Amino acid sequence: MKRLPRLLIIAALAVVSSLAISWAWRVMDSTPRPLPRTATSGTAAIGGPFTLVATNGESVTDQSFHGKWVLIFFGYTSCPDLCPTALTNVSVALEKFGSDTGRIQPLFITVDPQRDTRDVMANYLKSFDGRILGLTGTQAQIDSATKNYRVYVELDESERGGDDYLVSHSAYLYLMGPKGKFVNVIEGKEDGEAIAAWLRKEMNRSMWW
């Protein structure tokens, strides 16, 4: 009969030990764990093939500038503020960039092909640096280009009729690398000196593009 209390004590200890282990596992399971690291790779899906017409009448594609850094601005010649500001800033940036400017091809692609014919664009661009090449095309060609470059475009014809209307559009400068890959964007309202400094930085940082 003396063995009974000892057995009860052993059984009680076993129960306590089991409860302690169970509690410890619950504490460990409820302890916050660090979130798994996520890895990202690649670049934004901006850019792609296009076929347009230059102000000199030549057919131009995205492959026409292979080997050069391409600086693209989407706008239109009837734009009251954003476009002339951006093109003026690009003109200043090209002057400040110096001898390496030959490595860059600036493009002005219209978002308003209905009014921006080759002649209209050629005349408009006379007010800016002569190295800026104007491109236009059919509505379908322009729509394809703006879609590939994720350009916001919306015609505002609510208060006007005929050819008197405004076009709302995003106002970024897109930099594409020598192999045609997207590098980065900068707002067209940045002044020429800032754009030139940005170009140097991006071109030096992204030599492998």
Is 46 domain-assigned?
A: no
- Least confident among 45-54, 137-146, 156-165, 187-196: 156-165
Token pair, residue 70, equals 């391409």
Of 129, 122, 73, which is closest to residue 97 (Cα–Cα)?
129
Q: Is residue 14 part of a domain?
A: no
Residue range 121-146, pLDDT digits in tens: 999 999 999 999 999 999 999 999 99
Residue 17 counted as domain residue: no
Both tokens of 130, joined, read 């002569």
Q: For residue 8, what are its two tokens?
A: 């009860």
Convert the pLDDT of each residue in 43-63 to its tens digit: 558 999 999 999 999 999 999
Within a domain: residue 134? yes
In 3D, which of 73, 46, 69 has the Cα closest to residue 171? Answer: 73
As for how many domains the chain has, the answer is 1
Any domain includes 24: no
Other beta carbons within 10 angstroms of residue 56's beta carbon come to: 10
Between 11 and 74, residue with greater pLDDT:
74
pLDDT of residue 158: 64
In this prediction, residues 159-170 reach a mean pLDDT of: 82
| pLDDT in the model for residue 99 | 80
In a domain, 33, yes or no: no
The CATH number of the domain holding residue 164 is 3.40.30.10
Q: Is the pLDDT of residue 40 over 50?
A: no
Task: Show the domain range for 143.
Answer: 51-205
